[in-house]
Amino acid sequence: MAILIKNANEVITMQSHVEGPRRKEQMSELGLMKDVCVLLDGEQIVMIAPLEELEATFPHLVQSAEVIDATGKIIMPGLVDCHTHLVHGGTREHELNMRLSGKTYMEIMNAGGGIHYTTTKTREASFDELYEKTYNHLNDFLRYGITTVEAKSGYGLDWETEKRQLEVAKKLQDTHAVDVVSTFMGAHAVPAEYKGNEEAFVELIINDMLPKVAELGLAEFNDVFCEKGVFTPEQSRRILEAGKAYGLTPKIHADEIEPYEGAELAAEVGAISAEHLLVASDEGIEAMAKAGTIAVLLPGTAFFLRAPYARGRLMVDSGVPVAISTDFNPGSSPTISLPFVQNLACMNMGMTMEEVLCATTVNSAYAINRGNEIGTLENGKKADVLILNVPNYKQLQYFYGMNHTDTVIKAGKVVVK
């Protein structure tokens, strides 16, 4: 059934003449319209125009449409969370006091906690347990206005469990309203059983896991945690190049904790995105701007690890297309609140209210290769539409830490009301 949304104060379409990920001042183009209605039909956006124009162009559709009254509210595209570790077993609240009293993230991980703890919990969890837990997380995402989520594997670190994580993501893509886009991240950590024999694990990923992921069509992207004590830039390069040969697009966890020339590596291997970048070098930022690598910034992780924030302002000013995401995971960022993360990007990375909207819609859609389908409201794009309970978009960041989501329409269907 068609849907007609009337009377909104503002419609943030995110439309622009720019094709592809946006940079610099392009990131501030909101395509803001007033006195227009939004007409949806099937899974698509039909037209955004004044009511009289819609009535003249699509008389039957307008007449038969279900009407939603958005008086006093605004409309914008569904949010795209382009970096999460969605499917995992267990939680890690026991690590919080350890970190608050001075233990570092890497110390906890090297002592067998951190990613290793979650790997154990994920290996222990059945398909159904993981599916049900993740289904509930996706319900939370949806309530906060996120309509597409990227999901990385990487808590199996053996084929059986990596495959189970990816298959859970695939089933959720088929069954849950939120769209789920999969990334293989076998190179998330070296599992305990390969300690001291790291090269053998790298070989296992390259010769065994990557071909199987590709053959089974379980992921579109291949990600590596390039970090001191995890995977070296050289190992990361080999894993990413091997993935490319199997048609998997490279992504990289780069320069998260210590500078390691991860941003430079992302530019060099033609990664679609480099993610985290808390301590990326000036040279790395320049290289990314030149290569067009999208910076996926995750200020929730800096907040939760109490680490310095990525230099988002500098990246935007340097011409890097910037996206923002939650990094939802049980260790360094257990939140699904992309709206709160937008707020952190404003307050702690100096990005503007307009830039963070672009970074969580258009640019985050491009970071998962979905820029042609979602991220803006325009004719023919997927009808992923939010109605937010604020009179203007600036209040989204002003009344911070709140969920302003009123109604969520996913692929033309009302899924949150």
Q: Which residues are documented as binding site for Zn(2+)?
A: 83, 85, 253, 327
332 binds ligand NIG (CB under 6 A): yes
Q: Are 297 and 315 in contact (CB under 8 A)?
A: yes
Q: How far apart are alpha carbons 368 and 375 in whole angstroms? A: 11
Q: How far is the CB of 289 from ligand NIG (least distance, A)?
A: 23
341 binds ligand NIG (CB under 6 A): no
Q: Which residues inside 117-156 make contact with ligand NIG, applying CB under 6 A?
A: 118
Q: How far is the CB of 410 from ligand NIG (least distance, A)?
A: 26
Q: Which is nearer to Fe ion, 137 or 382 (CB)?
A: 137
Contact letters for ligand NIG, residues 67-86 (x by CB under 6 A): ------------------x-
Give the pairing of strands 385-388 and 405-410.
antiparallel
Q: Which is nearer to Fe ion, 82 or 356 (CB)?
A: 82
Residue with token string 């939120």: 178
Q: How far is the CB of 325 from ligand NIG (least distance, A)?
A: 10
Alpha helical stretches, state H, 59-209: 59-64, 94-100, 105-110, 115-124, 127-143, 159-175, 198-204
Q: Are 338 and 81 in contact (CB under 8 A)?
A: yes
Q: Which is nearer to ligand NIG, 249 or 301 (CB)?
A: 301
Residue 114 interacting entry, from ligand NIG, Fe ion, none, C-beta within 5 to 8 Å by type: ligand NIG
* Site size toward ligand NIG, by CB under 6 A: 13
Q: How far is the CB of 253 from ligand NIG (least distance, A)?
A: 5
Say which residues have a Cβ less than 8 Å from residue 355's Cβ, sequence separation at least 6: 27, 28, 316, 322, 345
Q: Which residues bind Fe ion (CB under 5 A)?
A: 327
Q: Hey, what's the torsion of the CAs at 180, 186, 191, 196, to 10 degrees?
A: -160
The helix or strand, by DSSP H or E, that contains position 403, with its residue range, turns out to be none
Q: Which residues inside 268-327 make contact with ligand NIG, applying CB under 6 A?
A: 301, 327
Cα distances (Å, whole numbers) of residue 183 to 154, 186, 222, 234: 9, 9, 6, 21
Q: How far apart are alpha carbons 297 and 299 in whole angstroms? A: 6
Q: Which is nearer to ligand NIG, 184 or 225 (CB)?
A: 225
Q: Are 320 and 275 in contact (CB under 8 A)?
A: no
Q: Which is nearer to ligand NIG, 325 or 363 (CB)?
A: 325
256 binds ligand NIG (CB under 6 A): yes
Q: Which residues bind ligand NIG (CB under 6 A)?
A: 85, 114-115, 118, 225, 253, 256, 301, 327, 329-332
